[in-house]
Amino acid sequence: MKKGIAASRGYAIGHVIIKEDVDITITDAKVENVESEKNRLDKALEISKNQIEKVKEKALKNMGEDKAAVFESHIMLLEDPEFIGAIEMEITNNNTNAEKAVKDISDSFLAIFESMEDEYMRERAADVKDVSNRILLNLLGKMSGIEITENNTILVAHDLTPSDTAQLDKEKVIAFLTNIGGRTSHSAIMARTLEIPAIVGMNDITSSVKNGDLLIVDGIEGNVIVNPDDETIKLYERKVEEYKEEVEGLKRLIEVKTCTKSGKRIDVAGNIGKSEDVHKVIENGADGIGLFRTEFLYMDRDNLPTEEEQFESYKYVLEKMEGKPVVIRTLDIGGDKKLSYLPLPEEMNPFLGYRAIRLCLDRIDIFKVQLRALLRASVFGNLKVMFPMIASLDEFLKAKAVVDECKAELKSEGKEYSEEIEWGIMVEIPAAAVCADELAKYVDFFSIGTNDLIQYTLAADRMSEKVSYLYNPMHPAVLSLIKMTIDGAHNHGKWCGMCGEMAGDETAIPTLVSYGLDEFSMSASSILRAKQIIINQD
């Protein structure tokens, strides 16, 4: 039996096809004709763009608009003056061959993205890798792709790129396994979208099995059984059928209001990054949006989004949710999330530096554009706004003062806004949790951001393999801070939610329910299962 990280739930029984990586050999050879080399690059970029357009069309058909949107960012990367410009400069200034220039520049971009704590930014690393590999293959005149012709195929690979997963035929590929990756890697996210089991981080699965081997994939426990006996096959055939019945049965909860056995009403909401993501949340019966990460509006572009652009995005989500609560987080940029058009100072420890609310209170001009857009959009639904990275009451009061300025401006301009907006904070710094009882006198709600709260509490970077064993959501210190936050809110009649990964953790949900958490917000695919767990709690 082989063990890995269960990244997408389900069971599968099928035969192996190993995805062979195409050999990309790159030399240090210098070129004499720089213009000719740049022309080679231009042709490879054009071919790559045409290929991605076709992949996008297939993804749109198979996985929907929100997942096809990733290939828009691939095309934007091919046109990004910072990325492509750096490659051209490397060729021009150092007479570097095009392949070497692409590899060197993409490696530098990859190193930046892979070291980032933010989930979205880590996913961008997969995009950079995918695009740069495509350019390299086109420069070398080689082809890459997965041709699956057999039903009940289990795809085994070192890793899968966004392009690989987008082209998988769900009718033939019933599961996949990779050597590397984690639950938040792009391939894992795509597997959950395709609703096929996947196990990642298996280290050596490509060398442990061979084409044609019969495998059982247990996407619940993260186990793979190679060439099982008849008795084991029959056992898992029953599990496959039972799991299908379970998934179908969960759909009955789409319209159900989530209450514990004792009658406590709990909201199960969805996290989104782009306005289009709202559709998946609605399909899964969410009680609202618990986190709209607005920094997505600022990324993949070369200038700040206008007030009108932001207004339209917020309005769209509020209208689609038809009066259900929508919690929008103000700009959380800085630290590990940088914008090419917004230079920020270099810092020794950017995670504890100039970011989120700290940046917004310094750059009031940027902050006010967003706040005005939010206020204007508030008349179209049930808006709640939260400020990230709050460490003290003073920061919250300063942010509210800027809100008041924006209200006064809009009123003088004759523009409407709702007076019913709730203003809260993300509790992701231990200081805020410790001071929750005092902060709750002034805020309308708390939303616990466990991703940062855990790593700040335990001084353990969750992206560092060497200390990942310390990153434990159920550590007594973390649980104590969570309970302190919930109690602080309730002491003053305020509600408390959670929007970090822990909110969708099936093992943590019972404890959080017992603590009195009022709202759980998570990825759309986790909503129905979370509802089921909560309904069965006392």
Q: Give CA–CA dist 46/239, Å, rounded.
A: 47
Residue with tokens 């909560």: 534
> Looking at the predicted structure, is the pLDDT value of residue 68 above 80?
no
Q: What is the pTM of this model?
A: 0.72
> Looking at the predicted structure, is the pLDDT value of residue 229 above 70?
yes
- 499 has catalytic annotation: yes
Q: Cβ-count burial of 471 within 10 angstroms (0-12 exposed, 13-18 middle, 19+ buried)?
A: middle
pLDDT of residue 177: 94
pLDDT of residue 116: 67
- Dihedral, 296, 76, 463, 445 alpha carbons, nearest 10: 0
Please give the mean pLDDT across all residues of the chain. 88
Q: Give CA–CA dist 514/510, Å, rounded.
A: 6
∠ at Cα 296 (290, 302), nearest 5°? Answer: 165
Q: Tokens in use for 367?
A: 């902050």
pLDDT digits 0-9 by tens, 398-410: 999 999 999 999 9
Per the CB < 8 A criterion, the answer to whether 52 and 73 are in contact is: no
Comparing CA positions, the residue from 424, 426, 482 lying closest to residue 454 is 482
pLDDT digits 0-9 by tens, 452-507: 899 899 998 766 657 767 888 899 999 999 999 999 999 999 999 999 878 988 88
- Return the bridge partners of 397, or none: none
The pairing of strands 422-427 and 289-293 is unpaired
pLDDT digits 0-9 by tens, 129-183: 888 988 998 888 876 666 677 888 999 988 887 667 767 777 888 999 998 877 7
pLDDT digits 0-9 by tens, 96-131: 999 999 999 998 888 777 766 665 566 677 788 888
Choose the catalytic residue: 360, 406, 435, 499: 499
- Return the bridge partners of 154, or none: 16, 175
Q: The domain 2-21+145-236 is classified under which CATH number: 3.30.70.100, 3.50.50.60, 3.50.30.10, 3.40.630.30?
A: 3.50.30.10
Helix axes 119-140, 34-63, angle to 10 degrees: 120
Q: Tokens in use for 397?
A: 């009061």
Q: Please determine whether the domains at 2-21+145-236 and 252-535 fall in the same fold group of CATH.
A: no
When mean pLDDT is compared across 26-30, 39-43, 179-183, 456-460, the lowest value belongs to 179-183
Q: Cβ-count burial of 206 within 10 angstroms (0-12 exposed, 13-18 middle, 19+ buried)?
A: buried
CATH, domain range 34-140: 1.10.274.10
pLDDT digits 0-9 by tens, 274-317: 888 899 899 999 999 999 999 888 876 778 999 999 999 999 99
> Which residue type, as a one-letter code, is found at position 11?
Y
| Averaged pLDDT for residues 366-375 | 97
Q: Tokens in use for 129?
A: 């890798």
Domain boundaries, the chain: 2-21+145-236, 34-140, 252-535
Choose the catalytic residue: 74, 186, 406, 496: 186
| Averaged pLDDT for residues 218-241 | 94
In this prediction, what percent of the chain has a pLDDT beyond 70?
A: 92
Under the banding of pLDDT at 50, 70 and 90, the label for residue 373 is: very high
- 279 has catalytic annotation: no
CATH, domain range 252-535: 3.20.20.60
The DSSP code for 338 is -
